[in-house]
């Protein structure tokens, strides 16, 4: 089973307006609501690709109830811990001449609730996959990723980590199956300016030497590079289409990659292709990727 963790889920309220002006009333020309958070995004795209997962994390208040019900209606299993106070956040995404985001803070997570999450994680079995993605709320320890991997280390669980900075570096000792920094985050990890594919490959291999089995580097409009667990390099360009949405594209790439390896274990070329197609399908849509678009874009991909 695949498990995703979203510490701070959200309802993403996406509105479009021709021109955003401060200090006056702005009228939306369209609006949509999605259930957000990086782990949730991964679970949603996995479901679209026919792969079951269970979404874990924390919810609170009426917005938390809406998130849980919405995911259940989509056929996604959930195991959220219900917090005693607060409300799950609402993130406002304004699409105008420029894209503007106002992300909510979210509820505080108490020690008792965190302990309940660790109890759930303790039920994971050999062969399961655990996806940890995104930043850590201020009410949680800054080293929470490290604590989780340390607790589950040695049990045959595949760890997938999408994080940056110290949050990522500190988990490498636990040999995550897959990490996915982008090219800018890769440069920040080593304090260098990444300019070429050779630079990316060089520093991605350093991350493998530090413990990661597979290192996937996304490069926005320049495609992606994967150094797989055998040390092989794979490169894939981007799909062609009109970019409409930047939210969740990286999460969708992660989901496509995981789904591909579920279908074809060890086929890393196909995993990179499906990940690229899934990321592109989200970028070219108003919401998260749909299977029909993913399959269409998969035909464009080439390793």
Query: Over the stretch 184-199, which tens digit does the pLDDT of each residue have?
Result: 999 999 999 888 999 9
Residue 182 near residue 246, CB atoms below 8 Å: no
91 is written with which tokens? Answer: 């993130």
The answer to whether residue 68 sits within a structural domain is yes
Establish whether 162 is a catalytic residue: no
Greatest C-alpha distance within the chain: 57
The answer to whether residue 303 sits within a structural domain is no
Pick the residue with more confidence: 36 or 59?
59
Q: How confident is the model at residue 285 (pLDDT cuts 50, 70, 90)?
A: confident
The answer to whether residue 83 sits within a structural domain is yes
Report the pLDDT value the prediction gives residue 23, as an integer from 0 to 100.
92
- Cα–Cα separations (whole angstroms), residue 152 to 106, 125, 131, 146, 169: 27, 10, 13, 10, 17
The answer to whether residue 35 sits within a structural domain is yes
Contacts of 282 (CB under 8 A, 6+ apart): 45, 245, 247, 248, 249, 251, 252, 288, 289
The answer to whether residue 149 sits within a structural domain is yes
Helix or strand run (H / E) with residue 215: strand 214-218
Q: Which domain holds residue 30?
A: 2-298
CATH number, domain containing residue 294:
3.40.1190.20
Residue 145 near residue 164, CB atoms below 8 Å: no
Report the pLDDT value the prediction gives residue 232, as an integer from 0 to 100.
95
Report the pLDDT value the prediction gives residue 135, as an integer from 0 to 100.
82
The answer to whether residue 227 sits within a structural domain is yes
Number of domains in the chain: 1
SS3 163: coil
Can you spell out the DSSP letters for 53-112? EEEEEEE-HHHHHHHHHHHHHTT-EE-PEEPSSS--EEEEEEESSSEEEE--------HH
The answer to whether residue 177 sits within a structural domain is yes
Contacts of 13 (CB under 8 A, 6+ apart): 31, 32, 33, 90, 91, 92, 93
The whole-angstrom separation of Cα 98 and Cα 167 is 30
Q: How confident is the model at residue 117 (pLDDT cuts 50, 70, 90)?
A: very high
Helix or strand run (H / E) with residue 274: helix 268-283
């Amino acid at each position: 089973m695949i498990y995703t963790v979203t510490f701070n889920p959200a309802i993403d309220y996406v509105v479009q307006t021709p021109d955003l002006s401060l200090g006056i009333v702005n009228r939306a020309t369209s609006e949509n609501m999605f259930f957000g958070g990086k782990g949730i995004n991964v679970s949603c795209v996995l479901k679209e690709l026919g792969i079951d997962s269970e979404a874990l994390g924390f919810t609170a208040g009426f917005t938390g109830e809406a998130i849980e019900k919405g995911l259940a209606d989509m056929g996604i299993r959930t195991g959220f811990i219900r917090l005693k106070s607060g409300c799950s956040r609402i993130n406002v995404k304004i699409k105008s001449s420029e894209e503007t985001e106002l992300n909510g803070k979210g509820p505080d997570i108490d020690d008792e609730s965190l302990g309940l999450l660790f109890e759930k994680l303790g039920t994971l079995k050999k062969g399961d996959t655990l996806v940890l993605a995104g930043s850590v709320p201020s009410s949680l320890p800054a080293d929470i990723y490290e604590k989780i991997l340390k607790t589950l280390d040695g049990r045959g669980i595949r760890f997938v980590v999408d994080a940056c900075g110290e949050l990522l570096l500190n988990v490498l000792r636990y040999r995550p199956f897959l990490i996915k920094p982008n090219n800018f985050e890769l440069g920040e990890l080593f304090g260098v300016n990444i300019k070429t594919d050779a630079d990316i490959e060089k520093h991605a291999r350093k991350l493998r030497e530090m413990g990661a089995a597979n290192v996937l580097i996304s490069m926005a409009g320049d495609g992606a590079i994967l150094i797989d667990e055998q040390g092989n390099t794979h490169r894939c360009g981007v799909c062609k289409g009109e970019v409409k949405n930047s939210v969740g594209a990286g999460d969708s790439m992660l989901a496509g990659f995981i789904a591909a390896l579920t279908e074809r274990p060890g086929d890393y070329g196909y995993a990179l292709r499906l990940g690229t197609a899934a990321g592109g399908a989200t970028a070219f849509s108003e919401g998260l990727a749909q299977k029909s678009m993913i399959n269409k874009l998969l035909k464009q991909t080439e390793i």
